[in-house]
C-alpha cells in the first residue's frame, strides 16, 4: 500500500477569460504580478493559455467563464507552503499598493475579473519525477 499521508502545501486555482488578442498583455501582466505573489510566500506559479480546450456537452472551461468568440481561456495555479502561509501572503498582497487596480502606475487587467473563477485547494495526491 502507498503512503497515505496528505501531501504538504496549498494551491489556489484560477480559470479566467481574456481577448485572444491579449495573450502577450496577459503574459506581461502575469510576469509582473506573479512576482509579487512570490515575494509574499508563493513557492510555484503556473500561468497557462488555452491550447486544447474542447467544448463539453454540459460544461467546460469556456462555459465556466462564459468565453465568447475571440476570447481565450487561461488556467493558473499558485502553490503555497501551507494554508496559513497562503492566508498571510494573500492578506499582504491585497494590501500592497502595487496590486491596486486604481494605481495609475499599474497596467490595466488584460482579462475580465468578473468572469474569473478561483478557489483554494488542499492537495490530496501529488506525484513528481
pLDDT exceeds cutoff 70 at 55: yes
What's the mean pLDDT when you consider all of the chain?
92
Contacting residues for 55 by C-beta, under 8 A, at least 6 apart: 62, 63
Whole-model pTM: value is 0.87
Residues 34-53 have a mean pLDDT of: 97
Residues 77-82 have a mean pLDDT of: 96
The whole-number pLDDT of residue 3 equals 53
The whole-number pLDDT of residue 81 equals 97
Q: Report the percentage of the chain scoring pLDDT > 70.
A: 95
Q: How far apart are the first and last CA of the chain?
A: 20
Q: Report the percentage of the chain scoring pLDDT > 90.
A: 78
**Chain CA centroid to CA 76, Å:** 3
Amino acid at each position: 500500500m502507498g503512503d497515505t499521508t496528505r501531501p504538504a502545501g496549498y494551491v489556489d486555482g484560477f480559470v479566467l477569460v481574456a481577448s485572444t488578442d491579449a495573450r502577450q498583455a496577459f503574459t506581461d501582466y502575469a510576469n509582473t504580478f506573479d512576482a509579487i505573489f512570490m515575494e509574499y510566500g508563493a513557492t510555484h506559479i503556473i500561468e497557462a493559455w488555452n491550447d486544447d480546450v474542447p467544448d463539453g456537452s454540459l460544461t467546460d472551461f469556456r462555459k465556466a467563464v462564459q468565453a465568447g468568440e475571440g476570447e481565450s481561456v487561461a488556467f493558473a495555479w499558485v502553490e503555497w507552503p501551507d494554508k496559513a502561509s497562503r492566508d498571510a501572503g494573500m492578506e499582504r498582497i491585497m494590501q500592497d499598493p502595487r496590486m491596486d487596480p486604481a494605481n495609475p502606475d499599474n497596467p490595466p487587467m488584460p482579462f475580465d475579473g468578473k468572469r474569473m473563477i478561483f478557489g483554494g485547494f488542499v492537495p490530496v495526491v501529488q506525484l513528481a519525477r
